[in-house]
Amino acid sequence: MESRRALMWAWRVMQRGFSAAAKPTAGEGEVVKKTRKNKKTLLEAAQPLPDWGIGSKLAKSYWNHKNFYKITRINLYRDCCHGKAWGIFHRNGEPTTETPVRIGGANKRVWKLIDDVPKKTSETKLKCRLVI
């Protein structure tokens, strides 16, 4: 039992040593910022688009370019950074279902915009709802 504790302690010390060496150090008054490599949540990717991206094609960054969701509805929480989204999934460019399904992982930072921005028309109804 004692030898197992000693091994666990040595392992933790070794991990701390490696992790401390890998972290960047900041001088006095400097702020170390973490940088993101242009990865966005589904809602962050859809925010600058007209009608919060309803009608646009969004996909996860590691998917094939022919697999995507066409957004049909978005529910936003009060902070407008989190929420739920529904859409029709397309596999190899063909829709898999006719009815929209809830998009899993909409709040994870893996989404990208596939095509150009859909044009806003007067007939387009806003299907985005703010949940309070």
What pLDDT, on a 0 to 100 scale, did the predictor assign at position 129?
65
What pLDDT, on a 0 to 100 scale, did the predictor assign at position 32?
61
Output DSSP code: residue 68. E
Distance from C-alpha of 98 to C-alpha of 93, rounded to nearest angstrom: 14
What pLDDT, on a 0 to 100 scale, did the predictor assign at position 76?
84
Region label for 92, one of left (φ > 0), alpha (ψ between -120 and 50) or beta (otherwise): left
Q: Is this prediction's pTM over 0.85?
A: no
Closest CA to 54 of 81, 23, 32, 87: 87
Question: How far are the Cα atoms of 62, 82, 130 from residue 79, in angstroms, in the given order?
Answer: 28, 7, 9
End-to-end CA distance of the chain: 54
What pLDDT, on a 0 to 100 scale, did the predictor assign at position 30?
63
- Residue type for position 85: A
Taking 50 as the pLDDT cut, the residues of the chain under it are 20-22
Distance from C-alpha of 112 to C-alpha of 55, rounded to nearest angstrom: 14
Q: What is the pLDDT of residues 26-35, one digit of tens each?
A: 555 566 666 6
Q: Side-chain half-sphere of 76: how many Cα atoms within 13 Å?
A: 19
